[in-house]
Structure 1
């Protein structure tokens, strides 16, 4: 006797709803229909849609979903992202603003010593930035080249890359693809949740329609409309370690002749930092700040002054941010994802990455009959992902030497709320950050290689006794220089590639 099909109701669209729907539909229904998936999306509640940069792993999600990369970029006004350029996170040095670049790559060069140790123990450490010494993305970024040659295949480049995409357009694109693949779309606003203890029986819309299901996925953003009905006192705040709890987001026109930059910029301001993310048609920018130290009006004025009087602003949005995560993401038959599950400030563009992780875990954890052990497993892994990301974001703040505002004077103490990181920072004064330091963690994308870009970019370098062989060091960095020149020679200027793509 054939097993009855299961049903899933996803409440809320946006990136969380449609990424989850398209992933689970492909996983459970690719070889015959085993799960009916319905997305209920409100026409009255807009999506936040300001998180417009991604980490590099998101391209594997798009590829796995069978989506055409060129079509994705065309439909979302998309561009490429080589990494993040950080500015002014420390005091100027010799009158020059502080800068460092965090790319997605690692070059496994080195014979006796790894390339990081080779760089740290050579004279290069006093003459160039760490990212300039050990990556191919840095010369590409400086040349304003993207990761692609004119003949690169989909989802491949000379270095790993992410995207800059219009989040609202991406949700629409995924919605269309999901509906074409068999996901049911209902346009309505959920007004009530019918619960029996820790189980949701149905959701009821403003029109009085009732939708029952075996599993409900809460994608209702910070409201947590479903998950909050099942469990009170289910939120762990991270604001002690990450005090930025508000943002003002602006969209501005690109100036005539201004080509989109192939990287995100994160510039430290008085009480937080500003992002700049270039799409093909505009720039998304915003100020993430501590709302206990700055009013929304003051934050908007500071951001507009940072952009300059010539900036042509198209749209302005103010946001309250609920920083932290659920203690239990899965309660009864309800799973919270996206902003309903948690939020880490967008300093490293991890919003879509966390949705991707949650969707993958749903795929494995819903493959059999879920009981409490399965829910416990899901909750343990999701909490671990958020805790790991929390400490990685704290790393960016706690190493600062800025003392020009109360916010920056308090920033070094944020490490007190991440004891593991505090202990490791002491060890990393005397040894390199290595794979074994993080191998037992929940880290899913930021490894020792990523930590080193932040540590050494923020001048937290170990004092090493080891000394590299000068001839070996010279040969390694000569090889890397040749590779960098070849990467620039073979790739296209970012603007040229995008003009051809979006024709």
Structure 2
């Protein structure tokens, strides 16, 4: 084995997909000895989309596994911390107040004998607080402007789980530098031809340069430059369930005195929703909408009106989104990842998470001396399952709305018809809380029954329960949560203070 020649792995395309995968696989495969020669071919003529600026909390562990310094990462990407997503306006106003709820990353607190979700329901707590306020610590932290970290929190650890807000373009550059320093080859060139032999890619051509490889990774975005050469008619569209197919993204300066919030905001507009993601010094915002109901000009005007006339706009970009995923991500010797593999609209910030999942599977499936059809089938089955699970979770956000102020929102409840399991389960959840066993055996990789509960109860899909608890037991349970929230508040820093500490 010591004399075995390294296999060649050619990654076509940079961006987050190319460089996250290259950095991860290089550390995994080549840390002890050179098992793979990894080359990233990145075109200087083709820019990256660069608007996916929020992550889920599991990306922390991926970055930690690459041996990256967390504080350096945040400094190099203008990064901030994210404890969850704050949703606004996804249902009709109640009592003259805009509908709001928070989806944090943390697990719920445990009850005594009965789970805290059921206790919250039977005690009628919805009359005095949001569900997230009653069962999580993060709701208290964000209300006080605190992030998840204290003055001496170790790298990649906090009082509550967290993800990141990061400049996607700067992240790609940061990872490129780290990967190249660790031995990944970087070639600046534009692919002009893809040579196919049988069911495999024999080489990619860039002008007069020819690159051969044992494996090729397609990180060319929606173009799917490599994977489409091997298999046509290889796309499973999700547009029947998720009709938002366009976005307009605006970068604006943070106003004087405005500090970055430790959460993403998702506000429902007329034909979709707007994200707001605070970095240090600027905010990334955008409107994800149904292009069959709204023109790009009208979408941009609505987003600008939402942001307000005082916004100092730095950049505006219009995007077409190809929502769905490959039937086969791995064909022959080529694996499509990132946008080349699939795309779920960014409502729950899953873009980098899916790259993380694909890279992890490559780390196991490519170890074989000669991966077989069974290996490819396994990889494809798992990746399809990941996307289908995420599709289902995103549909959950839309289908429970009671908004009827536009055709888009009037049609939203019917999207659940495209996800039969979810439609059936929503009826079950009218009579009991969502629990672990409901999703056990699924492909769920980051959104569990606890995450489902935050959306279900944030969207006021409450079960009808007939169970009595003593007032003393109820008060003791929720007083315990309040006490833990006070302790979390005392142990953490204001988010802006933590960010200032990074730059001292």
Q: TM-score, normalised by structure 1?
A: 0.99
Distance 2:74 2:38 in 1: 26
Distance 1:211 1:365 in 2: 23
Match of 2:88 in 1: 87
Shift of 1:126: 1.6
Shift of 1:475: 1.2
Q: Which moved more, 1:492-501 or 1:67-76?
A: 492-501
Match of 1:3 in 2: 4
Shift of 1:127: 1.1
Shift of 1:454: 0.2
Shift of 1:139: 0.5
Shift of 1:124: 1.5
Q: Report if the CA contact (8 A) 2:109-2:481 is conserved.
A: no
Distance 1:72 1:366 in 2: 28
| Partner SS, residue 383 of structure 1 | helix
In structure 1, stretches of 5+ residues that fail to align are none
| Partner SS, residue 40 of structure 1 | strand
Match of 1:341 in 2: 341
Residues 280-429 of structure 1 aligned to structure 2 (within 5 Å): 280-368=280-368, 369-429=370-430
Q: Which moved more, 1:472-481 or 1:284-293?
A: 472-481
| Partner SS, residue 236 of structure 1 | strand
Match of 1:491 in 2: 492
Distance 2:304 2:211 in 1: 45
Task: Please report the RMSD computed on the Cα atoms of aligned residues, expressed in angstroms.
Answer: 0.8
Q: Which moved more, 1:479-488 or 1:222-231?
A: 479-488
CA-to-aligned-CA distance 1:475-502 (integer Å, 9 cap, x gap): 1111110111121122111111111212
| Partner SS, residue 192 of structure 2 | strand
In structure 2, stretches of 5+ residues that fail to align are none
Q: Report if the CA contact (8 A) 1:60-1:155 is conserved.
A: yes
Shift of 1:440: 1.2
Match of 1:56 in 2: 57
Shift of 1:160: 0.2
Are 1:254 and 2:284 matched, yes or no? no
Distance 1:291 1:23 in 2: 36
| Partner SS, residue 60 of structure 1 | helix
| Partner SS, residue 45 of structure 2 | coil
Are 1:232 and 2:232 matched, yes or no? yes
Distance 1:370 1:22 in 2: 22
Match of 1:213 in 2: 213
Shift of 1:208: 1.4
Distance 1:376 1:425 in 2: 32
Distance 1:5 1:498 in 2: 42
Match of 1:74 in 2: 75
Distance 1:377 1:469 in 2: 51
Distance 2:10 2:376 in 1: 18
Distance 1:26 1:274 in 2: 37
Distance 1:391 1:12 in 2: 29
CA-to-aligned-CA distance 1:178-218 (integer Å, 9 cap, x gap): 0011100000011100001210000000x310000000000
Distance 2:380 2:333 in 1: 13
Match of 1:448 in 2: 449
Match of 1:182 in 2: 183
| Partner SS, residue 384 of structure 2 | helix
Shift of 1:260: 0.3
Match of 2:156 in 1: 155
Q: Give the paired residue count.
A: 502
Q: Report if the CA contact (8 A) 2:8-2:215 is conserved.
A: yes
Shift of 1:57: 0.3
Distance 2:472 2:294 in 1: 53
Q: Report if the CA contact (8 A) 1:113-1:468 is conserved.
A: no
Match of 2:202 in 1: 201
Distance 1:176 1:394 in 2: 38
Shift of 1:474: 1.3
Match of 1:477 in 2: 478
Shift of 1:373: 0.3
Q: Which moved more, 1:462-471 or 1:108-117?
A: 462-471
